[in-house]
Amino acid sequence: MELHLTASYADESNADLLAAVVDTTEQVPDELRQLDEHLGGAIARELARGVLTTKSAGVVTVTGAATGPGLLALVTTGPTDDGVADAWRVAGAKAASAARAAKARTVALSVPSDPEQVDAFVTGFVLGQYRIHKYRTPTSEHSGDDTSDRYRGPEALTLHGDVDAIGDVARRALTIAMAQNWARDLANAPANRLMPIDLAAEAEALAAKHVHLTYHDLDRVGIESAGMGMFAGVAQGSADEPRLIVLEWNPPESSEADEERLALVGKAVMFDTGGISIKPSGGMEDMKLDKSGGCAVLGAMRAIAETNVPRRILAVVGSTTNMPDGNAYRPGDVLTAMDGTTVEIISTDAEGRLVLGDCITYARGRGCNAIVEASTLTGAMVIALGHRYTGAIGKKGPLRDAVIAAGEATGDHAWAMPMHDEYKANLKTACADLKNSGGRDGGALSAGSFLGHFAKDTPFVHLDVAGTAMLPKPRMWFGSKGASGAAVRLMVELAASR
């Protein structure tokens, strides 16, 4: 999507649709008065009807004049329970909905001069216009579906406002939101269309576009040779070649040898059958989304490179498929981790933590002194927090505080949860150092404590995005079910602010 910035008045727009934010006081905003006169008072008449509320759909379209925008969409902000920025993200998504209903190829937004509101509005618009339609043919018919024809969203977005005040903010918001939508595309991809080698190719292609972003990977032999026994154990049941995907961002601004180096670690299980501990068949098709955490890490690295974050970042993504073939690992097996820890397998459906444990050890061995990891790890987290908040499991301290703050700043909300030795005690077993499942009680927290074991003394936060990354229906500013790209904006903000 192309972005254009202009200081011209909204009535000078020639876009297919112009979206503007109004409140519920039935007063025409100052920035729309000239446009209202141009439209013969149409905006004032619509507002006088009193049909716009924060909780309603909050979209009214007004037919344009002979010149100017073809259609005008008046949108309200959403409820401000979680702050003004979230309300403006909702407004952006409403504008995206209006653009889609009108099948607008070009869209203009009349934006305020407040940078936070502009960031939120643009973010909500870009995320709100996303749909899962990549694998539909252009002529496919879906009754009542807004992607039933060749329309695939707007091609150009123009912002009318104070260019000097909001230009950089708008460009950054668009860049990060587009990277998040790319992560959503990766996560939504079916397992037969995107295998570990394909995800690795996406990461390699990303690195090729940025001079300070480098790519490296390990194949099955490399993973085994590195001593990643847990990762290799999960991968041994799949004919698909696994990959350890490594991206390093080293901008010239970050030349100090003693600078903190942040690692972003992600789980990319391309499809999770549960292995020998096989999952129920109902809903198993959604297990293509078990790669969401790793895809979010790649999306964050794209945004970090494109916004030129002046800090060294290491990304490590473990990618494989959890399958139950004749060579698959079994309950009762004992695997040896990269750090030498022995792990008894209780459930082969608790595979993500095995892959991630070795990835965390790898990141720690690369000299990173702070690690943030994202994964769709436990159904227990969905029960605990639903689809609104990501669980941020870690010990009290500056890193967990920074993660929570980054979530609040971006609307990519996370809720602090404990990492305590009592939960790790649930992982004790007679025949190995640890077992890979601690049972139902505190299941999400014992899983986080399992990962914390491999971080050792390195500050570490585990982001369980099982509820936030996999949406059963559209919500908030996400216009589509499926992958949301949860944790992309949080990780970018964390990288930029630490």
Contact between residue 448 and residue 98 where contact means Cβ atoms under 8 Å apart: no
- Dihedral sign (CA 250, 252, 255, 260): negative
C-beta atoms surrounding 54 within 10 Å: 15
What's the number of CA atoms in the CB half-sphere (13 Å) around residue 15? 33
Q: Given the residues 136, 152, 279, 395, select the one marked as catalytic.
A: 279
Is 224 buried (19+), middle (13-18) or exposed (0-12) by CB count in 10 A?
middle
Q: Given the residues 291, 353, 364, 424, select the one marked as catalytic.
A: 353
Sheet holding 370-375, edge to edge: 213-218, 243-249, 313-322, 262-272, 370-375, 460-464, 390-394, 414-417
- Dihedral sign (CA 418, 419, 425, 427): positive
What span, in angstroms and rounded, lies between the C-alpha atoms of 349 and 119? 40
State the DSSP string of 241-288.
Answer: PPEEEEEEE--TT---TTS--EEEEEEEEEEE--TTSPPPSTTGGGGG
Contact between residue 299 and residue 406 where contact means Cβ atoms under 8 Å apart: no
The residue among 18, 23, 108 whose CA lies nearest residue 64 is: 18
* Residue 353 among the catalytic residues: yes
- Dihedral sign (CA 127, 170, 59, 487): positive
Residues with catalytic function: 279, 353
